[in-house]
Structure formats: C-alpha cells, structure tokens
Structure 1
Amino acid sequence: MDSTGRFLLSLVTAATFLQVRSTVTVIGLYGETIEVPCNNGAAKPVDLIFTKWKYKMDDGTSGDLLVKQAHKEQAQIQAMDGYKDRVTIAANSSLMIQGGSLVDQRTFTCMVVYGSNLDEHPVDVLVHKKPLPPQIKDKAKELENGKLTSLGVCTAADANPAAVIMWSKNGKLLVADGKTIIITPSVKMDPSTGLSTTTSGLQYTAVKSDVGAKFTCTAKHSLETQVSAPETFIIHYPTEKLSLQVLAKAPIREGDNVTLKCNADGNPPPTSFYFSIKGQKVTVKDSDTFTLTAVTRNSTGDYKCSLVDDDKMEASEKVVVSYLDLSLSPTGKVLKMVRDTLLVKMEQDASGDAKVSWTKDNRKLDETPRFDNVTYADAGFYVCEVSVAGIKRSQSFQLVVEGTPVIKKMTEHHSEDGRHKVLTCEAEGVPRPSVQWSVNGTNEENSYINGKATHKITVVPTGNLTITCIATNKLGNHFMALNVSSLIKDEKIPGKGAQDDSSDQALLIVFIVVGLIIAAAFVGLFYWLYIMKSRRGTWKTGEKEAGTSEESKKLEECNAKV
C-alpha cells in the first residue's frame, strides 16, 4: 500500500466503529483449494471501501495476507511467508487458499471497511483428510482351535483427524473381552505432514465354526467409512468324528469295484487310516480310500475305518453285494410227442426277494407253465426271467411237439351253386401231414395252423361213393372213410333202368375192393416192419424165418380187421 493509501486507511480507522462478529468454522479438504467465506458469504456493503484478510500466526500474533480496495481490480498481497503464493480473493470476498494442508488449521479474519464502519469476521479453518483404504497386515498363517492367537493388524494411514478402527467377523462387530478377544489400538502422527495413522491389532481365540469365516476391519472417519478386503484363515482342530462312505453305484453287484472312503472332521485331516476288511486290519498311508476289487457275495458284511494314532475312534458301514443264480430245466430245444408229460423245474438263489416272470413267444404268462399232457398248442419259445436289486437273469427252452397224424373229422357239403360237393378232411399231426384222397378233385385248398391240417377238394360224385382221406407224416399215417351220396337224382329211363342199377353196383364194388386192397397193403407193410425190427439180430444162418405165435396172432387180428 502506498503512502496515500495508508493515510486514507488511518483516517478511516480513526473514524470507524470496530465490530467483531462471532467465529464460524469451515472444513477444508487436504490438498485441495480451501474457500474461507467472508461474513458467511453475505453481500458486500454498497459503501464498501476495502476488504482485508489476515490470520493468526503460530506465535499468536496477527499477520496480513492481502487487501482488496473496492475501486481496484487486483488485490494487494501483503503476506511474506508461505501464503504469499497460495492466497487470492474471490469476487464474493472469500479467501482462497490453494493446496490446503494441516498448517492451514488456524483462524482467518475478514476485515470489511465501509462508510464509517469496520467489521471483522473470524473463521476457524479445519483441514480433513480421509485415510487410505484400510488393510489387514501381519496376518496369521493359521488359527488353532481354542488358542488365543494374533490374527493380524489393521492399518488406516494418513488421515486427519485420525480414523477409528473396528473389527468384524462375518459382518458382526467383534467386542473385546480381554480373554478370547483382545483389540489393541494405536495412533501415530507423521511429524512432516501432521497426518495420523491408526493401527489396531486383533488377538482372537478361534473355534471350529470359524472355518470359512470372513474377518474385516473398518476405518471410520468423518469424511468416509471404509472396509478392508475380507480375510479367511485356516482353523486347526483335532478330529472328533469319523464317517465311512461307500463309493459305488447302487446296487452293488458281484464283479463291481467298491471304494471305501474314511472322512475325518479334523483340520488338517489325518493322512493315514486303518481299514478293517472282513476282520483284517489294513493300513493306508497318504490316502483316505481303500478299493475292493471284483466283489463277490462273500464280500457282504460290515467294514470299518479308524485313526492310526487313535484306533478307538472308528466308523463302520455295511456293504451288501447283490447276486442272482438261475437254473432252468429243460433248456434249449425240447422235442416231445403229443400227450407226453414235460416237467419244468426252475431254481434260483438270490440276495433278496426275486421277481419271476414267464413269457411264451413274447406273450406274458400268468404262472409257471405245466405240461401234464402236452398238446400241439403248447409248442413255442418259453423264457423265464428272474430279477433282484438291479440284476436280471433269463433262460429259455424251445418246446417242439410232434405226433402221428390223426384225422379228427371228414365232412361234405354242397357248393354254392349246388352242382358240386366240397369234401373237407381235418387232421392233427406234427410234422405237417400230407393229405391224399381216394378220388380226384378240383379246387384244392389246404392250411396248417397250430398242428392242424385242413384239406378241401371239390368233387362231382355221379353215384353213392365211399371216399377215403389218408394223412401221412414221417411218424405214421391215419385214414378215414366217408360215404358220399350222388348228386344225380334217380330217374327211370325206359330200357336202361336195370342197366344203370347194375352199373352203379359194379362201381361201388370196385371202390370197396380198391379200398380193402390199399388197407391190406398198409397193414402188411407195418407188420413186416414190425417183424424185421423185433427179429433183427436173433436170426442165424440156415434157420427158418418163422414168426412167433404172438406175431401170428397179431397178423390174424390185422387181417380180420381188414
């Protein structure tokens, strides 16, 4: 200020009335520009002469910072210390302090001269700085169950004012009790910056349930509350309980591999175990499993595991091996003659209640098949299936029923046009019998279903006939005769009646003779085969081939029938 300005100021000072306002407090941020308002930011007086900022120095005396005259654009910097290059005045008369630091925590006074008045507005400035994010350092490698251990130290550095640190487990505040939880806080100020670093050590007595627990520390500050990254710790505790686990796909069947796993609840878990295998103790090192390979039904039983250093602590589990044996008689291809008896026997040995089912030609049967009197309908493919606990066994047999042909019936009926007769011969037999007639026919039809052969022919009988049907297969033959009446009505023609009658009688006699000759030939053939079979190996050279009295009697009986 020049000599004229100082003179005007002295005159104003002498003529004004000094009024000091109450002190207000402003909080500035560390490292940023601090704005100190003049008269709480009130409007400038209309008769303002000048505004002056001063501050209270460290020794308690007052120091000038700057003066801004109302009619001039620029303020005059009066400070000669560290504020010389850091202070300016804003348009609203606020003091602007660049690069705020803790040295700025002092009282600044705004002096306003207007008219005949002089007002002073003191402002206390506080500089705050939030701490760096809190961190847990010096962490314990592991915690031991029931033992007080230093868990770690939480640090919240470079703050003003100093931060307050709190500890939490799984989000719940830990409260020091002096025994199981001990918290030791401390604050240290950096003399060069004036900033404070808060530390807090936690001694903690872990329990088994702390496995996986998340520990955090919180730095509470006026500007912001910050939480550290969570930390988990290994908790060591002795084994209190064992369990034995059977690792195998259920149900366990003969031939499967079964792995036994011994689980201990201690941490760290034991590395060696005893396994009791059917009463024999086996030591397993650096593993908690033992594998039973290709188990059998004899492997069923109780298995145990225990600790090597404490074999009284043990666990057990039962292993059940499912098995199934099936025996069926008969099996394969079974050949039976019709009306024979077939005994079916099924035996099974299973680890539990077995379910038995039968099928014939893929159709389910309600019960075990019985064959007291085998019929052609019994022929088929039979399967017996037995199942228990995921195991299935099946065996089968193919029943083939054979028999010599038997003609069940012969029938006749008129054709639809009434001009022919349809003869039907039904015969049972396996293998399929061939059917022959003693007359020639037309429109032959034949079928073979379930051992029954049906053969039809169409004939035009001109007189009453006896027609024979013969059914033959490799096992033998059978024949049956049927009297068939003529389709031609008896009409008397003069001069020819006697001749027609005699012709019909002659034709009938021919058919009867032919039939008897054929029957006699078959009987003679069967008898010859029978004699050859019965006498084979008994003849000697030079002996007569005479039959026994019994054979002669049979021959006479056959001839009598013919």
Structure 2
Amino acid sequence: MNPTALVALLLWTSGTFLTVTGKAQSVSAWYGDTIVVPCPGGNPPPEDLMFVKWKIDRSDGTAVDLLVKQHRSSQATIQATDGYAQRVGIDDRQSLLISKASLRDQHTYTCMVVTESNLNEYSVAVRVHKKPSSVEILDESEALTKDKLTQVGTCVAAEANPAAAITWRKDGQPLEADGEGVVIASSTKLDPTTGLSTTSSSLQFSATKADAHSVFTCVSTYEGSSQEVHMDPLPVHYPSEKASLEIVSQQPIEEGDNVTLRCQADGNPPPSSYFFYFQDKKLPEQSSDTYSIPSISREASGEYKCSLPENKEVQASKRIYVNYLDLVLRPSGRLVKTVGHLLTVKVEKNSTSDALVSWTKDGRMVEEPAFSSLTYGDAGVYTCQASMGRLTRSQSLELVVEGSPVITSLTKHQANDPKHQVLVCEAEGFPEPTFKWSISYTNEKSSYANGKAVHNVTVVLQANLTIFCNVSNKLGEVFSTISIHPDIQKRSGEKEDEVAVVVAVAVAVALLLVVTVGIVCWFWRRKSRSGSFRTHAAHTGHTAEETKQLAGNSENV
C-alpha cells in the first residue's frame, strides 16, 4: 500500500481525519429483505481504487467497523463482531449488503473509498419499512342499539413501520368522529423489542333502524396502499312500540274448535314472552308468544289482549265470537205408544244464527212428523238433524207402536187342484202376532211388515167345515171363522151348464123375431110400391088372409 494511503486510513479510522463529503444519501428497504447501501452513490469505482471500507455511525457518536475489501481481492474482510458479522457483505459495485433487514439496521452507514491519490467518504442513511403483518377487527359487537352509542369493534393494524393509519367507513362512506353519533378512539403502541408499531382504532356508533343492513369497514393505510376489512351487517336492537294479536283458527269460530292466540311486537329482537288476558283477567302463561284454547266453548266469547311483560302499555286486543248450536228433541230415545193414540213431537233449537233442520226415518228423508192417530206404519227411528256452518247436532226418537191384534181379512180361494183350498188370514198388531188354525194344513206362508201380518195355509177339502183363525200377541187375542165345502166345485159346474142353456134359447128366440120383422117390412114396402096389397100378395104367392095369418103368427112367436 502507498504510504500516503496507509497514513490516511489510520487517521480516518481514528476519527481524527477530516474528509469532505457530499450531501448524505438515504435508502429504504422492506423489513426482512436485504438492504443494498450504494457506494459511492452507486457510481462505478475509480480506476486507481485501492480499497473500500464500511462502518456504522451510531446515534451516540460511536462508530463500528463492518468490513473492508481490497480492490484486487475477491473476498472482503469482515470486521464486525456483533450480529452484523453473519449478515453483511459487499457486491461488485462496492455496495454494502445487509440481509434480514430489521429496524435495528436504521443507521447512517459511511463508505470510505481510498485511491492512490485521494480518500473520500460517503454517508448513506438507511430506513427500514414494514407493512402491517395483519389487519383485523377485534371485539366485534353482536348488535347495535338504536339511538345509543354502541361499540362496533376495534380495528388493529399490527407490527408496522412506520405506524399504519386507520379510518372507518359505513356503506362505503367515510365516518368522521363527532362525539355524539360517531366516536373513534385511536392509539399506537411501539414494541420495544422489535421497534414495530401497532395501531388500534375503536369505533362507537349510534344506529337507527335503517342501519340494520349497513356494512362497516376498517381501512388500514400504509405508504400509499390500503387494506380493507369488512364486517358482516349487524342487527339493530330497539324496543317494541306496537303489538299485534292474531287469532289462529278456522273462521267463523265454532264451539269445539281449537283456537290459538299469537302475539307479536315490532321490537328487535322480538320479545321472548307475552302476557295474555281475557276480559282484563290475566291468563296462565303457556309459551313464549302463543296461548291455546282447546275445544273452545261459548263461554270463551269475549275480548282477549296481549302485552309486553316489561311494558304493559304496548298491547293489542281482539274479540272472539264463538258460534254454538243446541238441539233438543221431545220426546227422544225409545218410546212405546199404543196404536190410535196422539203423539206430539217438539224440536227446540238454540243457536247464534239460523240453523237448517232435516228429518229422516230409518235413514230416508221425510217431512217433520205429526201423529194425530198413530198407526203401525208410523213405527221407526226418526232422526232430527240441525246444521249451521260446520256445526251439526242430531237427536233421535225410536217410536214403537203396539196394539192387540185385529183381523182385517179372512178369505179363501181355490188351489191349483180341486182337492185343496187356500185360506188367507190378515191381521194388524204389535208385537208381531202369531197365527193358529183349527185345522191341519200344509204349505204355510207368512209375512210381517209395518204391523201388518199375512198368514197363508193350504187345506184339504174333505168335509163341510167351519175353520177358526186365531191371532194373538202379548196384548190380546182375536179369532174369526170361515166355512169350506167339499162339493163347491161340482155345484158350481152344474149352475154354469144351466146358464148356458138359457142363454142359447134366448139367442134363438131373438134371431127368429128378427127374421119375422124383416119379412113383414119387406112385404109392406112391396105393397107401397105396387099401390095395392094384392099386388104384393100376388107377388109373394100368399093371399091377404095368408099374409094376415103370417103376421099374427109372428106376433105370437
């Protein structure tokens, strides 16, 4: 080394050598990256360069040598003994390289360039920048309260250098603190170990109902760039101002229906419970927002209310009308009456509106019954049904008409052969009567309907007999007689022959009379045309006397 350069180096390292430098440069680097500190100002090294040396100028006035590199050597000599020993280096342009930049590297670095003819030094200030490692919103509120300052959340931009700035937006519009509806509190905390800054900003907001769907956004701004964090829309809580009462049931409400009252209010969140009242009397609590009335009765008609437990002034009311239908049939059930008696049937209705009444007898539609004189045909099951909307009521009368037997007819007629005759005995009565005959019989047939009984038997014609038909039930007994004759068929045949003979004789006489009258008329006409009876007689071949005699004979016929 040139002796002059050696003396200059010794003086510079001792801090007593005064050099002339230009204005100090500055460079910036990102946290964790490699810092490149240029020397001299990034210009190519001079041709007569001998060596380059780098040192740190600390804020306390001390200096620390980092490295020195001879111009003709490929390797630098590391002089640092602290944490820089493993992190410093030099490139081909004589720039200082510091890896894994941190805030501790924010110093002024001095580069000494020694040539064969001169010694120069250049100072470079290093600034290390770090973006926030994270931007997040902490302590997010679950809901806002109407017209009341409520904590929205705290936005935190962590570990930055320099510190990040935080602002708030609502639905994309900036929020400005006014101390009333919007309160923003910001703070910055410096980590003494890392030297990094964490910025926090808390937002309090007084909401309205319209803010229920608003989106709050935290904006972190650093070195001209920004990062946004959006919150989910927050519900806005507010007390109830109005209530409504709903009646859940089929309409119109009829006795026996299941009815549910449901109360609602316009608060948010909705009230968790309500009080229910009937005719201003508090009802037992059932569930959160409903009150059930199973199988409602007419006595439950009236005014119902619901209110908030914490504010009875917020209430709603509804009136319930319960339709009902009563039906009474007099008499009803099973009724036994005597045939021929009078029976009066009455229907009594009690309903909230007109009801339609219909009657059936044994399942068939009939008119309303009226019994002035009961007959066996009146017996049966009568059902009276009243209908009103969905309501139906019915009452039944089982009418039994009873009486002792009465024989209405006892007849006979010829069977299919002349040796037998059929006897028919008809009677009325209830209970069903039984038949007994005073003669043996075959081919018995019987029927019974509506109090009328018919009994047919076939008997053999053996002798003249008077036969008894006996009819009885538990209420009485009656009989009637009929006579039969074995020769009834023979005498009937003879009489028919006699009648036939008489008829034949009558017919013959009538024919003879007609012929005689015809002949007389013919002669009379003949005489009229000829002008004399004689002419007629000559024409016929009879004298006047003969003709007169013929006329007399015809009159005697």
When normalised by structure 2's length, the TM-score is 0.55
Native 8 Å contact 1:210 1:235 kept in 2: no
CA distance in 2, matches of 1:443, 1:55: 150
Q: 1:271 to 1:134 in 2, by over 3 A?
A: closer
- The structural deviation recorded for 1:342 is 2.5
- The structural deviation recorded for 1:445 is 3.2
Native 8 Å contact 1:434 1:472 kept in 2: yes
Question: Which one is further off, 96-105 or 469-478?
Answer: 96-105
Native 8 Å contact 2:35 2:98 kept in 1: yes
1:188-236 deviation line (CA, Å, top 9, x unaligned): 554643544333332322123556x686544668999674775856734
Which residue in 1 is equivalent to 2:316?
Answer: 315
CA distance in 1, matches of 2:234, 2:259: 37
Which residue in 2 is equivalent to 1:136?
Answer: 138
- The structural deviation recorded for 1:375 is 3.5
Which residue in 1 is equivalent to 2:383?
Answer: 383
Secondary structure, counterpart of 1:436 in structure 2: strand
Native 8 Å contact 1:132 1:159 kept in 2: no
When normalised by structure 1's length, the TM-score is 0.54
Q: 1:367 to 1:443 in 2, by over 3 A?
A: closer
Secondary structure, counterpart of 1:435 in structure 2: strand
Which residue in 1 is equivalent to 2:442?
Answer: 442
Native 8 Å contact 2:278 2:302 kept in 1: no
2:198 counterpart letter in structure 1: T
- The structural deviation recorded for 1:148 is 4.6
Q: 1:35 to 1:467 in 2, by over 3 A?
A: farther
Structure 2 residue 427 is matched with structure 1 residue 427: yes
- 1:550-561 pair list within 5 angstroms: none
CA distance in 2, matches of 1:433, 1:444: 15
Structure 2 residue 180 is matched with structure 1 residue 146: no
Secondary structure, counterpart of 1:377 in structure 2: helix
CA distance in 2, matches of 1:26, 1:399: 117
CA distance in 1, matches of 2:202, 2:309: 39
Structure 2 residue 310 is matched with structure 1 residue 330: no
- The structural deviation recorded for 1:318 is 0.5
CA distance in 2, matches of 1:411, 1:88: 150
Q: 1:421 to 1:83 in 2, by over 3 A?
A: farther
- The structural deviation recorded for 1:408 is 4.4
- The structural deviation recorded for 1:432 is 0.7
Which residue in 2 is equivalent to 1:453?
Answer: 453
Q: 1:85 to 1:381 in 2, by over 3 A?
A: farther
2:375 counterpart letter in structure 1: T
Native 8 Å contact 1:405 1:471 kept in 2: yes
- 1:118-517 pair list within 5 angstroms: 131-132=133-134, 134-137=136-139, 144-159=145-160, 172-173=171-172, 175-176=174-175, 180-181=181-182, 190=191, 192-208=193-209, 217-218=217-218, 227=229, 230=232, 232=234, 235-237=237-239, 239-244=240-245, 264-265=265-266, 278=279, 297=298, 300-304=301-305, 315-361=316-362, 363=363, 365=365, 367-386=367-386, 388=388, 393-410=393-410, 420-462=420-462, 467-481=467-481, 486=486, 490=490
- The structural deviation recorded for 1:330 is 0.6
Native 8 Å contact 2:356 2:387 kept in 1: yes
2:471 counterpart letter in structure 1: A
1:136 counterpart letter in structure 2: L
2:324 counterpart letter in structure 1: Y
Which runs of 5 or more residues in structure 1 are unaligned?
1-24, 37-52, 90-94, 109-123, 492-562
Native 8 Å contact 2:215 2:230 kept in 1: no
CA distance in 2, matches of 1:142, 1:439: 109
Q: 1:353 to 1:210 in 2, by over 3 A?
A: farther
1:205 counterpart letter in structure 2: S
Q: 1:85 to 1:417 in 2, by over 3 A?
A: farther
- The structural deviation recorded for 1:176 is 1.9
CA distance in 1, matches of 2:414, 2:98: 137
- The structural deviation recorded for 1:441 is 0.4
Q: 1:435 to 1:441 in 2, by over 3 A?
A: same
Q: 1:307 to 1:54 in 2, by over 3 A?
A: same
- The structural deviation recorded for 1:315 is 3.2
Identical positions, percent = 42
Which residue in 2 is equivalent to 1:15?
Answer: none
CA distance in 1, matches of 2:477, 2:104: 136
Which runs of 5 or more residues in structure 2 are unaligned?
1-26, 37-51, 91-95, 110-125, 492-557
CA distance in 2, matches of 1:231, 1:446: 94
Native 8 Å contact 1:305 1:314 kept in 2: yes
Q: 1:461 to 1:343 in 2, by over 3 A?
A: same
Structure showing greater Rg: 2
Q: 1:184 to 1:425 in 2, by over 3 A?
A: same
Q: 1:313 to 1:129 in 2, by over 3 A?
A: closer
Secondary structure, counterpart of 1:472 in structure 2: strand
- The structural deviation recorded for 1:377 is 3.5
CA distance in 2, matches of 1:364, 1:208: 67
Secondary structure, counterpart of 2:134 in structure 1: coil
CA distance in 2, matches of 1:227, 1:414: 119
Native 8 Å contact 2:129 2:160 kept in 1: no
- The structural deviation recorded for 1:96 is 11
Q: 1:368 to 1:82 in 2, by over 3 A?
A: farther
CA distance in 2, matches of 1:293, 1:233: 37
Q: 1:84 to 1:76 in 2, by over 3 A?
A: same
1:380 counterpart letter in structure 2: G
Native 8 Å contact 2:419 2:461 kept in 1: no
Q: 1:205 to 1:374 in 2, by over 3 A?
A: same
Q: 1:130 to 1:152 in 2, by over 3 A?
A: closer
- The structural deviation recorded for 1:335 is 1.8
Q: 1:126 to 1:467 in 2, by over 3 A?
A: farther
Secondary structure, counterpart of 1:321 in structure 2: coil
- The structural deviation recorded for 1:467 is 4.3
Q: 1:483 to 1:77 in 2, by over 3 A?
A: farther
Q: 1:309 to 1:85 in 2, by over 3 A?
A: closer
